[in-house]
């Protein structure tokens, strides 16, 4: 996470918080099937104007881009005790390893969303994540924030480059299920701070083409906001409290966002214990329908 991207996220989250106060998390289902398009018969006048030259009447039917609608998850089933712990970015090998140790200790699955640049040079640790059965999903290659006017082609390229980097690292042509845009729920807000009905069209089109669902969250540790990332007791409590304050209202089916950074990694065992104390069971996001 560059400082610049954090500032952007921070602004967007601020806008999001302003608009989201009191709102419940939502699950969108967007189907961008193109409607059948009929073209009018094409005709032309002969040069002398006396005769109509007709070309064949054509009806062009465009098939839907894919049969499968793109789902936008901010949570899972609100009636179940499942909860989903996700870990974003992954530039710190040390803190990924901390998280893996926590996952082992509590025998829980995590869902990772690394950037492609985080995978490169850390192939071994990502092989380890994969071999232990944790889901590794898509968070773009370069971790550039996606804006309303980011082209579909650019988003597709970013997603495919990350998938290639991951597949090369683990030695398996991986099939991913989820795309989490850098900046997360910023994709539900336009450049003027207005809440959108659906995420940016480029994201939907890219995900439809690549058969991915969009994964956001409804519980955020906000661990990166403490800045120092040296796992002071205050910073650990900050991450922990940001999660536990939401567990009673959003815990069932909740998707928790953490990052592979010192504060969140140190808070993760406490987060897992708090989750389990409420009777919630951490599951892999891959079980989402
Ligand atoms: Zn990120």
pLDDT digits (tens, 9 = 90+) for 5-46: 433 333 344 333 333 332 333 444 554 443 333 333 333 344
Residue 230 Cα to ligand 1 middle (Å): 19
Cα–Cα distance measured from residue 229 to residue 49, given in angstroms and rounded to the nearest whole number? 79
Which pLDDT score, from 0 to 100, does residue 182 have? 93
Which pLDDT score, from 0 to 100, does residue 228 have? 60
Cα–Cα distance measured from residue 94 to residue 40, given in angstroms and rounded to the nearest whole number? 63
Cα–Cα distance measured from residue 87 to residue 78, given in angstroms and rounded to the nearest whole number? 21
Spatial CB neighbours of 235, under 8 Å, sequence gap ≥ 6: 223, 226, 228, 229, 262, 263, 266
Cα–Cα distance measured from residue 230 to residue 232, given in angstroms and rounded to the nearest whole number? 6
Q: Residue 77's domain spans which residues? A: 3-35+67-287
Residue 138 Cα to ligand 1 middle (Å): 10
pLDDT digits (tens, 9 = 90+) for 94-117: 999 999 999 999 999 999 999 999
248 within some domain: yes
Domains in the chain: how many in total?
A: 1
Q: What are phi and psi of 84, to 5 degrees?
A: -125, 120
pLDDT digits (tens, 9 = 90+) for 225-240: 876 668 999 999 999 9
Residue 6 Cα to ligand 1 middle (Å): 9
pLDDT digits (tens, 9 = 90+) for 133-150: 999 999 999 999 888 889
Cα–Cα distance measured from residue 122 to residue 76, given in angstroms and rounded to the nearest whole number? 31
pLDDT digits (tens, 9 = 90+) for 42-73: 333 444 444 444 444 444 555 555 458 999 99
Residue 45 Cα to ligand 1 middle (Å): 60
168 within some domain: yes
106 within some domain: yes
Residue 224 Cα to ligand 1 middle (Å): 10
Residue 232 Cα to ligand 1 middle (Å): 22
Residue 1 Cα to ligand 1 middle (Å): 7
Residue 90 Cα to ligand 1 middle (Å): 9
What is the pTM assigned to this prediction? 0.78
* Angle in degrees, CA 259, 262, 267, rounded to 5: 80
Residue 9 Cα to ligand 1 middle (Å): 9
Query: Which of 184-188, 200-204, 252-256, 277-281 shows the lowest per-residue confidence on average (mean pLDDT)?
Result: 184-188
Mean pLDDT of 75-89: 97
Residue 84 Cα to ligand 1 middle (Å): 17
Q: What are phi and psi of 124, to 5 degrees?
A: -65, -40
Residue 63 Cα to ligand 1 middle (Å): 34
Whichever domain contains 15, its CATH number is 3.20.20.370
33 token code pair: 């099937």
pLDDT at 221 > cutoff 90:
yes
Mean pLDDT of 244-258: 97
50 within some domain: no
232 within some domain: yes
55 within some domain: no
Consecutive H or E run containing 100: helix 93-106
Residue 142 Cα to ligand 1 middle (Å): 10
Residue 34 Cα to ligand 1 middle (Å): 31
23 within some domain: yes
Cα–Cα distance measured from residue 186 to residue 124, given in angstroms and rounded to the nearest whole number? 32
Mean pLDDT of 198-222: 93
229 within some domain: yes
């Amino acid at each position: 996470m560059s400082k610049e991207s954090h500032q952007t996220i921070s602004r967007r989250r601020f806008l999001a918080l302003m608009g989201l106060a009191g709102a419940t998390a939502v699950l969108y289902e967007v189907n961008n099937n193109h409607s059948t398009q009929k073209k009018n018969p094409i005709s032309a006048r002969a040069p002398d104007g006396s005769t109509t030259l007709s070309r064949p009447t054509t009806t062009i039917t465009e098939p839907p881009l894919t049969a499968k609608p793109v789902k936008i998850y901010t949570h899972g089933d609100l009636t179940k005790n499942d909860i989903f712990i996700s870990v974003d970015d992954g530039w710190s090998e040390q803190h990924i390893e901390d998280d893996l140790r926590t996952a082992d200790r509590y025998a829980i699955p995590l869902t990772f969303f690394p950037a492609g640049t985080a995978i490169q040079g850390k192939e071994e640790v990502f092989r380890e994540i994969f071999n232990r059965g944790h889901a590794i999903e898509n968070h773009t290659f370069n971790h550039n924030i996606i804006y309303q006017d980011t082209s579909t082609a650019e988003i597709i390229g970013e997603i495919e480059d990350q998938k290639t980097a991951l597949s090369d690292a683990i030695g398996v042509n991986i099939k991913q299920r989820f795309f989490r845009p850098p900046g997360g729920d910023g994709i539900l807000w336009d450049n003027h701070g207005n809440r959108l009905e659906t995420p940016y069209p480029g994201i939907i089109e890219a995900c439809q083409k690549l058969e991915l669902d969009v994964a956001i969250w409804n519980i955020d540790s906000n661990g990166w906001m403490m800045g120092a990332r040296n796992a002071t007791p205050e910073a650990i409590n900050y991450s922990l409290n940001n999660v536990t304050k939401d567990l009673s209202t959003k815990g069932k089916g909740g998707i928790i966002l953490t990052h592979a950074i010192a504060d969140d990694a140190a808070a993760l065992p406490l987060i897992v214990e708090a989750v389990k104390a409420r009777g919630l069971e951490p599951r892999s996001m891959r079980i989402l329908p």
